[in-house]
Amino acid sequence: MSSKKIRAADHLVDQLVAQGIEHLYGVPGESFLPVLDALHGREDQIRFITCRQEGGAAMAADANGKQTGRPGVCFVTRGPGATNASAGVHVAFQDSTPMILFIGQVARDMVEREAFQEMDYRRMFGQMAKWVAQIDDASRLQEYVSRAVRTALSGRPGPVVLALPEDMLYDEIEAPAPPAYIESPRYNPAPDALEQLKIRLAKAERPLVMAGGGGWTRKGIEALQKFAETQGLPVTVSLRSQGLMNNDHPNYVGHFNVGATPYLATALAETDLLIAIGPRLGEMTTQGYSLLKPPVPSLYLVHVFPAGEEIGRVYEPALSLVSDTESFCRAAAEWQPIAPEKFHERCQALRHECETYRNPASVRGDELATYFSHLNDVLPVDAVFCNGAGNYSAWLHRFVSYRSASSQLAPTSGSMGYGLPAALGAATASPNREVFAFAGDGCFMMTCQELATACHHQLNVTIFVIDNSRFGTIRAHQEREYPNRISGTMLTNPDFCRFAESFGAGSARVENLEEFKSAVAEARERGGVNLIEIPQDQFVLAPGKRLA
C-alpha cells in the first residue's frame, strides 16, 4: 500500500499552522504561487494579509512577533521583494523579535546563472539574521521549519530567512509525522549568581533596575513588577521598551530615550547597583556609551541576558546571569524583602521626577503635549501605540502612558515608516485591542500605501500624522551643525485627509485641543480605519524646544 503523498507547499502551510501561526504578511509573487494556492480555503486557520510593499509586510510581521511572542511570518518574492523586505528584517534583528521571512527563489536548475531576480540570500541577509538557509529538498521542510522556529525564539530572539526554490514547492513528498508545538525555551538563572545578587542588593544604597530587550512575556512583566514592589526598587526601561512596566506604577521612574532625560542621567550617575534585565545596553540607551563608560563601568553592573555571547560584548558586568527575562524575574519575585525601606525615599523621589517630566505643564504652551496627554484620559489601558522614527515620537513617548504588556510597538533601530505597518500587525494579532499609529509626515509617506491594506482587510486602526512639511529630525541636526543652511530636508505633502478618504478611511484635520478631542472620540465611535492630521509649527523641534 502506497504512503500518503502531500505537495510541499501544503506541507509548509501545515507546519506553520501547527506552530500556532495565524497570520502571514506579504506581497504575492509568482515564485511562491503553490503556497498561495495552499492557503486557499484555510482562512479559518491561517490568513494571508496582502500588503502593498514588502518593507511594510516585513514590519507588520515584526509587530506580530512582538505582540504574540511567536515568530511573525512574512512571504515575499525573490530579488526586489527580498531587498524591500530587508528593512523589516533589520528592525527584527535590532529589536530581538522572533520572525521568519520566506523568500521565493529561482528554480533549482537555474541557480548560479544570475537567473531572473536571482540573489544569494545567505550573503545578503547573513549579518541581519540569526540563520539563513535554502530548502532544496522538500522532504526536509519540516526539519527546516522546526529549526527556524526554534532559532527565532531561542536565546536572543531574532529573524530567520528561508529561501524556497519555486519548483521545490510543487514536489510531492511522503507526509511525515505531525510536528510538535515548539515553546519558547527557558533558561533558569544560576542559583549561586542569584545569591550573589541578594548580597549585593543588601549592600546597595542607590540601586536601579533597567528592563529592556526582546522576548518578554506577560508572566515576566508581572514578575518584574512584583520584584520591584517587594524590594522597593525604582524601575527604568531602555529605549522603546515602555510596555514592560505600567507607566502609572509608583515604582516606574521613566525610560532612556534617544535624547538624554536629565533626571535619569543624574540617577544613573548616582547609582551604585544597576540591574539590567534584558537590554543590550546599546548606543541610544547609553547616550553614545557615555552614561555608562565601557568596558568597565564605575557602578556595579548586573547583566541578565538570555544569550551568553552578548554579555560582556561592550560592558564587562560585575555579575552576569544567562537567563531569559521571565525565568529571572519569576525567581527574583519570590525573594523575601531584603532592604526596601532603604530604597523607598529614592524611589519616591525618582517617581516624582518622572511625573513632573511627563506632565504637559512642564512644557507650558506646548499644545501637542496636551493632545497626547488627553489620550491617557480617554483610551483603554490595553491600547496599543505604534510609531516609527522622527521628532514627533518625543511627545508620544513622554506624555502617553503605556499601561499594559505589548502596548508599545516602536523600532529601537530607528526605522522610519514603521508605525502604520506595525499597526497592521497589532490589529490582526490583537483584534480586541484599540490600535493607534503615529507618524510624522516624512515617516508616514514611507509606508503610506499600507492604508490600502488596512482598509482592504477592514482593520480597526487610527493613524495620527503630525505634519511639519520637513524631515524634522534631520533638520534639527542640520541646524545644529550648519545653521541656516537648509538642504534636502523640506517636503511637499499631499492633502492627507483626502488621501485617506480615497481609500475609504475616515479623516479629520485638527487645529486645537477641542478639535483633537472630538476627532479622537469620533474615530473611536466610527471604528475601522481613521486618519487624524495634526499640523505642526515648522520651528518646533521637541517638547519645549524651538528653532530660533
- Last residue of one domain, picked from the residues 146, 173, 200: 173
Q: Is residue 388 one of the residues assigned to a domain?
A: yes
Beta bridge partners, 439, equal 465
Q: Is residue 181 one of the residues assigned to a domain?
A: no
Q: Is residue 109 one of the residues assigned to a domain?
A: yes
Which of 369, 542, 386, 413 shows the shortest CA–CA distance to 472? 542
Shared-domain flag, residues 430 and 335: no
CATH of the domain at 335: 3.40.50.1220
Shared-domain flag, residues 460 and 314: no
Compute φ and ψ for 67, nearest 5 degrees.
-70, -40
Shared-domain flag, residues 374 and 482: yes
Shared-domain flag, residues 239 and 374: no
Q: Are 337 and 312 spatial neighbours (Cβ–Cβ below 8 Å)?
A: no
Shared-domain flag, residues 262 and 113: no
Q: Is residue 121 one of the residues assigned to a domain?
A: yes
Beta bridge partners, 309, equal none
Q: Are 433 and 384 spatial neighbours (Cβ–Cβ below 8 Å)?
A: yes
Q: Cβ contacts of residue 296 below 8 Å, gap of 6+? A: 315, 316
Q: Which three cell numbers stand for residue 401?
A: 502612558
Shared-domain flag, residues 197 and 330: yes
Q: Is residue 182 one of the residues assigned to a domain?
A: no
Q: 23-26 and 273-277: which strand pairing?
A: unpaired
Helical residues (DSSP H) of 204-294, grouped into ranges: 218-231, 262-270
Shared-domain flag, residues 471 and 501: yes
Q: What is the pLDDT of residue 1?
A: 37
Domain boundaries, position 258: 191-356
Q: What is the pTM of this model?
A: 0.94
Angle of the 191-203 helix axis to the 325-333 helix axis, nearest 10: 60
Number of domains in the chain: 3
Q: What is the pLDDT of residue 269?
A: 95
Q: Is residue 225 one of the residues assigned to a domain?
A: yes
Q: Which three cell numbers stand for residue 77?
A: 518574492
Q: What 3-state DSSP class applies to 435?
A: strand
The rounded distance, in Å, linking the Cα atoms of 252 and 225 is 9
Per-residue pLDDT of the chain in tens (548 residues, 90 and over written 9)? 346 899 999 999 999 999 999 999 999 999 999 999 999 999 999 999 999 999 999 999 999 999 999 999 999 999 999 999 999 999 999 999 999 999 999 887 777 777 767 788 888 899 999 999 999 999 999 999 999 999 999 999 999 999 999 999 999 999 888 889 999 999 999 999 999 999 999 999 999 999 999 999 999 999 999 999 999 999 999 999 999 999 999 999 999 988 778 999 999 999 999 999 999 999 888 989 999 999 999 999 999 999 999 999 999 999 999 999 999 999 999 999 999 999 999 999 999 999 999 999 999 889 999 999 999 999 999 999 999 998 899 999 999 999 999 999 999 988 999 999 999 999 999 999 999 999 999 999 999 999 999 999 999 999 999 998 777 777 777 777 888 887 877 778 999 999 999 999 999 999 999 999 999 999 999 999 999 999 988 777 778 777 76
Burial class (CB in 10 A: 0-12, 13-18, 19+), 502: middle
Question: Residue written as cell 493632545?
Answer: 371
Shared-domain flag, residues 143 and 49: yes
Shared-domain flag, residues 115 and 236: no
Shared-domain flag, residues 536 and 397: yes
Amino acid at 515: E
Q: Is residue 185 one of the residues assigned to a domain?
A: no
- Last residue of one domain, picked from the residues 332, 356, 380: 356
Amino acid at 442: G
Which of 57, 98, 73 shows the shortest CA–CA distance to 22? 73
Beta bridge partners, 386, equal 409, 437
CATH of the domain at 51: 3.40.50.970
- Last residue of one domain, picked from the residues 339, 356, 373: 356
Beta bridge partners, 235, equal 209, 252
Q: Cβ contacts of residue 365 below 8 Å, gap of 6+? A: none
Q: What is the pLDDT of residue 45?
A: 96
Shared-domain flag, residues 391 and 515: yes
Shared-domain flag, residues 320 and 424: no
Q: What is the pLDDT of residue 3?
A: 66
Q: What is the pLDDT of residue 541?
A: 75
Q: Is residue 118 one of the residues assigned to a domain?
A: yes
